Amino acid sequence: MPVHSSEAPAQHLDVVIIGAGLSGIGAACQLKRRLPDRSYVVLESRPRLGGTWDLFRYPGIRSDSDMFTYSYAFEPWTHRGAIAEGDAILNYIKDTAAKYHVTDHIRYDRRVVSADWSTPDARWTLTVSHTDTAETSAITCDFLYGCTGFYDYDQGYTPDLSGLDQFDGTVVHPQQWPQDLDYAGKRVVVVGSGATAVTIVPAMAQAAAHVTMLQRSPTHILPLPATDPVADWAREHLPDRLAYAVVRSKYLFWAHTSFQLSRRKPDWVRKFIRDEQRKILPFDFAYDPHLTPTYNPWDQRLCLAAGGDFFHALADGSADIVTDTIETFTADGVRLSSGAEVSADIIVLATGLNLLPMGGIDLVVDGRPVVLPDEVAYKGAMLSGVPNFVYTVGYTNASWTLKADLIANYFCRLLPYMDRHGYTVVRPVAPAEGSAGAILDLNSGYITRSIDKLPKQGARRPWKLHQNYPLDLVMLRYGRLNDQGVRFERQRRTQSGSRPSMVSSASS
């Protein structure tokens, strides 16, 4: 039997935010700024805030989006770097939480195990496990706001690799990076070709004897300047907030345009990426097979090399790429399907993430477990049939925070609207024609491995996810709150005054 904590049982709050990472802190700050009278708490399963940026500690960790759109719209990014290192991002999140007095509302070591919705009571009851003790506690709230990210924080993805247990050296996964790992003068093989590998390779190459990126297939990697002269000029000549708005607009335009060009003129974008790589790499570099992906740009997320560091490491010989498949690991390294062998002292398995939708929380509505793949997303922010529940999933083709900011803005519009009309419940409904595919539309491995765990999206608005910031800006910040995809309800006492009944409001 679980031991109950000394905290007051079933404390009631207006809002419970789950997760104290980038999204959760942003949501709490927006709530504090715009609706300061609302009671709320942020529940974080780990002992510190920061989410991804506190968890990952591998060499060179940095943003894979520009910081002018990855930072919050309401809190300018003032550092010079357009691509920032993990510590700088973590400090930015901490400073923002402190500035808006969110820090005191965070409860650490609190993992939400289950969330049960009761329509008669119009509230959620959360079962919370205290990860630092054997205790559990209960909290009730009117609204539940999920900011858990989409991957499993406890364990990264490791494929079935033949002979890995035969390797005599050190094997590490970026998600569980040992802080005392000494790789100076060592031979390192990084297995993988995604954003993590592209970051780790040049960082480790600075001290290692040599680093090899072993990839099964190549990735689109774009060299991007580490700093932005436009941003430097704007900061020097314009007020801080105006400078931030100008530079942010520039990157919003760049992200939207590059994605649309990738969809409409993929060969042109391929050529652009190749031309940027050629500016750094030697003339005789073997682009095929090492840098010639079989998929079009943005079919999978585009990798960025800040300052071109990945390509500089290839150019100076401190790193190289091997494109092949693994036959088996050996005591000394890796034997490839081609028969070649790559020696190693350290193997880094940059093989990806495991998805964990909604943080693995068991959602239950009036006794019915919510099966995520059976539900349809509404405006990319709520789920059909799940009342008073908002969640954050960022863009796959742009900065995560762009979407997170819009959803927080939408949430802060929704609550006053419900107050004005006397509504206590908002319940999304699925489109009559059903769903039209998974909520995430990239063909990256971490998504395709878990496609059957994800909610669906519809074929039209407000159920279709456009992965398009301008369209979402109009819909979430300025669009109607009462539309065909949602039903609002209010409690009204029966004549006996016993149990509340629900009166619906159809869309108008």
CATH number reported for the structural domain that contains residue 32 in this entry:
3.50.50.60
Confidence of residue 299 (pLDDT cuts 50, 70, 90): confident
Question: Which neighbouring-strand residues pair with 124?
Answer: 117, 141
Average pLDDT of span 371-392: 94
Q: Are 415 and 331 members of one domain?
A: no
| Amino acid type, 391 | Y
Average pLDDT of span 236-264: 88
Q: How distant is the alpha carbon of residue 263 from its chain centre?
A: 22
CA angle centred on 300, ends 286 and 254, rounded to 5°:
95
Confidence of residue 3 (pLDDT cuts 50, 70, 90): very low
Establish if 49 belongs to a structural domain. yes
Confidence of residue 447 (pLDDT cuts 50, 70, 90): low
pLDDT at 503: 44
Residue 496 pLDDT more than 50?
no
Q: Are 329 and 362 members of one domain?
A: no
Phi/psi at 96 (nearest 5 deg)? -65, -45
Q: Are 316 and 209 members of one domain?
A: yes
pLDDT at 151: 76
Confidence of residue 375 (pLDDT cuts 50, 70, 90): very high
Q: How distant is the alpha carbon of residue 461 from its chain centre?
A: 23
Establish if 367 belongs to a structural domain. yes
Q: Are 138 and 217 members of one domain?
A: no
Q: Are 142 and 173 members of one domain?
A: no
Domain extent, residue 181, equals 164-349
Establish if 500 belongs to a structural domain. no
Average pLDDT of span 5-16: 74
Confidence of residue 353 (pLDDT cuts 50, 70, 90): confident
Query: How many angstroms separate the Cα of 132 from the Cα of each of 49, 55, 102, 400, 455?
Result: 15, 17, 22, 30, 31
Q: Are 230 and 301 members of one domain?
A: yes
What is the b/e burial string over 312-339, where b = at least 16 CB atoms within 10 angstroms of the residue's CB? bbbeeebbbbbbbebbebbebbbbbeee
pLDDT at 239: 86
Q: Are 321 and 361 members of one domain?
A: no
Q: Are 49 and 123 members of one domain?
A: yes
| Amino acid type, 180 | D
Residue 396 pLDDT more than 90?
no
Sequence-ordered list of residues with C-beta below 8 angstroms from that of 466, at least 6 positions apart, any chain = 472
Indicate the average pLDDT of the chain. Answer: 89
Q: Are 174 and 252 members of one domain?
A: yes
3-state secondary structure of 311: helix
Residue 297 pLDDT more than 80?
yes
Alpha-carbon dihedral 29, 33, 35, 38, rounded to 10 degrees = 50
Residue 113 pLDDT more than 90?
yes
Largest pairwise CA distance in the chain = 85
Q: Are 184 and 325 members of one domain?
A: yes
Please name which of 334, 326, 348 lies closest in space to residue 166, comparing C-alpha atoms. 334
Q: How distant is the alpha carbon of residue 111 from its chain centre?
A: 18
Last residue of a domain, one of 349, 368, 397: 349
pLDDT at 226: 77
Last residue of a domain, one of 333, 349, 365: 349
Q: Are 320 and 280 members of one domain?
A: yes
pLDDT at 72: 95
Give the Cβ contact number of residue 14 at 10 Å.
Answer: 15
Average pLDDT of span 456-480: 89
In the chain, how many domains are there?
2
Confidence of residue 500 (pLDDT cuts 50, 70, 90): very low
Establish if 498 belongs to a structural domain. no
What is this structure's pTM?
0.90
Between the two ends of the chain, the Cα-to-Cα distance in Å is 50
Residue 71 pLDDT more than 70?
yes
Confidence of residue 276 (pLDDT cuts 50, 70, 90): very high
Q: CA 175 to CA 196: how far, in whole Å?
A: 10
Establish if 189 belongs to a structural domain. yes
pLDDT at 104: 94
Confidence of residue 134 (pLDDT cuts 50, 70, 90): confident
pLDDT at 444: 61
List the strands of the sheet with 425-428, edge to edge.
Answer: 425-428, 486-493, 500-505
pLDDT at 5: 45
Tokens 């193997």: give the residue: 347
Establish if 467 belongs to a structural domain. yes
Q: Percentage of residues in the chain with pLDDT exceeding 90? A: 66
Establish if 492 belongs to a structural domain. no
Last residue of a domain, one of 349, 372, 398: 349
Q: Are 45 and 186 members of one domain?
A: no
Establish if 73 belongs to a structural domain. yes
